[in-house]
Each structure stands twice: as structure tokens, then as C-alpha cells.
Amino acid sequence: MSKFAFKMICLTTAAFVVAGCTGSTSDLEEWTQQQRRTVPPAPLDVKAPPEFVPYAYNGIGLPNPFSTSKLTAVLQPTGDTTKEPPEVTDKRDPEPLESVPLEAITMVGSMSMPQTNQDVALLSVDGFIHQVKVGNYIGMNYGKILRITETTIDLREWVKTGQGEWIERPVTLHLQEGQS
């Protein structure tokens, strides 16, 4: 079959398809209207909502759940609130890293010093590297360095509670790889 014959067959088929789609739809519209008139719509069964009964609060004589009296009783100081930890009462000069919040200090490395047989941690603050050893203080909560390993620094902070008590809080700084 030649290309011309194939094109003619396709064109003729397309013409018949288009001609078949252009017929009148009036008989279909008439049938639809007749069906709508003869079939009654089904009524919707809508249930009435349940009757609202307001809740009567009978806890007038009960303790107020929002009262601060229970919280105050729990938070009463349990010891001598005037006693301060030794780090606070020491008459020592503050070290440079004590004025920096602990969140701004990152551990970037550690070294062993063979001449003193001590481990030294390398800390980064604002792009500057600082060396610290066991016994130094860092952070704003009197954080004393207790132990240095290759990947961590263990320290003890003293934090004052809202009731004036000092509590001891252990903190560990971890090595932050890829930062300086």
C-alpha cells in the first residue's frame, strides 16, 4: 500500500468519526428530563443532634489545680542556701574562658604533653584556639575541668537555682570534628 493510499484511508476514517459525533442529542435530553420527573427524590434522614447538657462543676471545696501552693512546697530550700561552693568563694583571678558561655566553646582536639605528663584539650572560641588542662575553669557557671580524654572533657559546674541553692551539675564537652 502506498503512502498516498494510507493517508486517504486515515482521512476518510477520521471524517466518518467526526460526522458520527455531530448528531443531535435532543432525544437523550428528553429521556433525561422524563426520568427526573418520574423518579421522586429520596428524602434524607437527618437525625436531630443530641441535647446539650452543661457540665456542673462540683469541685468548689477541692484544692485549686492551678494553685502555686503545691509547687512552693516542693521547691522549698532543702539545705543551707547561704553555703556557696568553693569555686564561688575562692579568691582567685578568673581565667579567660570563664567569661565565655559554655555553648560558645567547642572542643577541637587534645594533646598529651610528655614533659608534664598531662593531657591538654584544645578549645575553639570565636576562631581562636585555647589550651586547657585539668583544674582549669571554663564557662560562666564555675565549670572546673575534672578529666580530659582524646574525645571528651568532663567538668563540674555550679548552678544557682531559683530558690538560691547551689547545685552541682556534671557536663561533658565532646570533640567536634571538622570545626576549628
Got the DSSP string for 99-144?
GS-GGG-EEEEEEEETTTTEEEEEEEETTEEEEEETT-EETTTTEE
Where residue 12 falls (left for φ over 0; alpha for ψ -120 to 50; beta otherwise) is alpha
Task: Dump pLDDT digits (tens) for 47-90.
Answer: 999 999 998 888 788 888 788 877 777 666 655 555 677 766 67
Average pLDDT of the chain is 84
- Interior angle at CA 75, CA 73 and CA 76, nearest 5: 70
Distance CA 139, CA 129 (A): 15
**How buried is residue 166: exposed, middle or buried, by Cβ count under 10 Å (0-12/13-18/19+)?**
buried
Q: Is 98 left (phi over 0), alpha (psi -120 to 50) or beta?
A: alpha
Q: Burial code of 54-89, b = ≥16 C-beta within 10 A, e = fewer?
A: eeeeeeeeeeeeeeeeeeeeeeeeeeeeeeebebee
**CB 158 within 8 Å of CB 141:** yes
Radius of gyration of the chain (CA): 42
The domain at 85-174 falls in which architecture? Roll (2.30)
Q: pTM for the whole thing?
A: 0.54
> Cα(151)–Cα(2) distance, rounded to whole angstroms?
82
Q: What is the pLDDT along the chain (180 residues), one digit of tens a residue?
A: 788 888 889 989 888 877 776 667 788 888 888 888 888 878 888 899 999 999 888 878 888 878 887 777 766 665 555 567 776 667 888 899 999 999 999 999 999 888 888 899 999 999 999 999 999 999 999 999 999 999 999 999 988 887 777 888 999 999 987 654
